[in-house]
Amino acid sequence: MTGHLLLLFLGGAFIYVGAEGLVWGGSKLAHRFKVSPIVIGLSVVAFGTSLPEFTVSLYSTFNDMQDIAIGNITGSNIANIALILAISAIIFPISSRYAEVRKDLYVVILITALFMLLAADGLLSRVDGGLLVAGMAAYLYRLVKSSRVETEISPDRFGLSHYFSALVLGLAILVWGTNIFTNSAIYIAQLFHVPELVIGATIVAVGTSLPELATSLVAAFRKESGIVLGNILGSNVFNLMAVLGVIPLIKPVTVARDAITLQMPLMLALLVLLIPVLKYSGGVSRGVGLFLLAIYITFTIYIYSRGVTP
């Protein structure tokens, strides 16, 4: 038991380091090729921080643990708002102009509703996966077309080869960490008779959300509220449309009923809640952060009380 707990933390550390390498290398390459900061935040950074969810879900699917794959994604999207955004706001209140994030927020809400509709029959088929991937392509096209600002290339001591190396090495470390983390989490879950969906929606979801947490905390500390919101909203999009779009193309994914009736509605409700919060409060205050955190704690306690069997 102790050994698996240590491996769990070690795997989480590898996931974090690997994702950081991917984000760093990808961001630097994007700057070098004069990609807009908006596109970097909502695509490169969001994609990089969503890679742990992708690798964990892909690994779980091919090892016949599809409840972990689904629970990981829905749990990560819930954690992005009710845990990561909440903690960031508690430490450094997040200010934001509603007009600047309104379109992206509504797009994420529509994408989440579309995903729920496709998953309502209990199966993400290859056709569903194709629709989600097509939606992801349209989302990225919209980002590129709506961005009109180019970044200035600032001199640095690293070359393109360093950035590509960071991408490759980051991916290798990420895959390795994912394997260690997932196996340890499953072992511990089975010891305590915790269903795979529950462990996927909590321990695994939080572990794979570490890159989002680190990125958001750094951005909040630097008063870059736009990056915090962009990273979280973009990660939610990538989790649903890229992760659960690509995987069903390879192997259809079954969706547990609890994910459909509990986790997905909460995932959507949290996004809808952001509309009045951002519109009338001008951002996310410490009070709202505490409220969101209370929701996450209540959610975690509830699914554990329902899911753990004696």
Token pair of 254, please? 């079954």
One DSSP character per residue, 89-108 reads HHHSPEE--HHHHHHHHHHH
272 domain residue, yes or no: yes
Tens digits of residue pLDDT in 185-196: 778 777 877 777
152 domain residue, yes or no: no
Question: Is residue 12 within a helix (H) or strand (E), and if so which, with residue range?
Answer: helix 2-32
In sequence order, the β-bridge partners of residue 254 are 123
Contact criterion met (CB below 8 Å) for 37 and 173: no
Three-state SS for 37? helix
153 domain residue, yes or no: no
Tell me, what CATH number does 244's domain have? 1.20.1420.30
221 domain residue, yes or no: yes
Q: What is the domain count for the chain?
A: 1
Q: Taking the chain, what is the end-to-end CA distance rounded to the nearest angstrom? A: 18
- Rounded Cα distance, 146 and 300, in Å: 38
Q: Within 13 Å of residue 36, how many CA atoms lie on the same side as its CB?
A: 13
Tens digits of residue pLDDT in 111-136: 999 999 999 999 999 999 999 999 88
Query: CA–CA distance from 22 to each of 44, 83, 307 (Å)?
Result: 9, 23, 35
Token pair of 129, please? 């996966």
- Rounded Cα distance, 291 and 140, in Å: 32
Q: Exposure pattern of 79-113 as b/e (b: 16+ CB <10 Å)?
A: bbbbbbbbbbbbebbbebebeebeebbebbbebbe
Contact criterion met (CB below 8 Å) for 62 and 36: no
Angle at 204 between CA 23 and CA 294, to 5 degrees: 95
Token pair of 32, please? 């070098």
How many C-beta neighbours within 10 Å does residue 157 have?
A: 5
Query: CA–CA distance from 101 to each of 225, 226, 235, 278 (Å)?
Result: 11, 8, 15, 9
154 domain residue, yes or no: no
Q: In sequence order, which residues have a C-beta less than 8 Å from that of residue 29 and are 6 or more positions away?
A: 160, 163, 164, 167
Contact criterion met (CB below 8 Å) for 211 and 16: yes
pTM beyond cutoff 0.75: yes
- Rounded Cα distance, 98 and 106, in Å: 11
- Rounded Cα distance, 188 and 181, in Å: 11
| pLDDT per residue of the chain (310 residues) written in tens, 0 to 9 | 788 888 888 887 887 787 777 767 766 776 676 665 556 666 666 777 677 778 788 878 888 777 888 888 898 899 999 998 999 889 888 887 777 778 888 989 999 999 999 999 999 999 999 999 998 888 888 777 765 544 454 556 667 778 778 877 877 787 788 778 777 877 877 787 777 778 777 777 877 777 777 777 777 776 666 667 877 888 888 889 888 888 899 889 889 888 899 999 999 999 999 999 988 888 889 999 999 999 999 998 888 887 544 3
Token pair of 108, please? 């994420």
Domain span holding position 127: 2-147+159-307
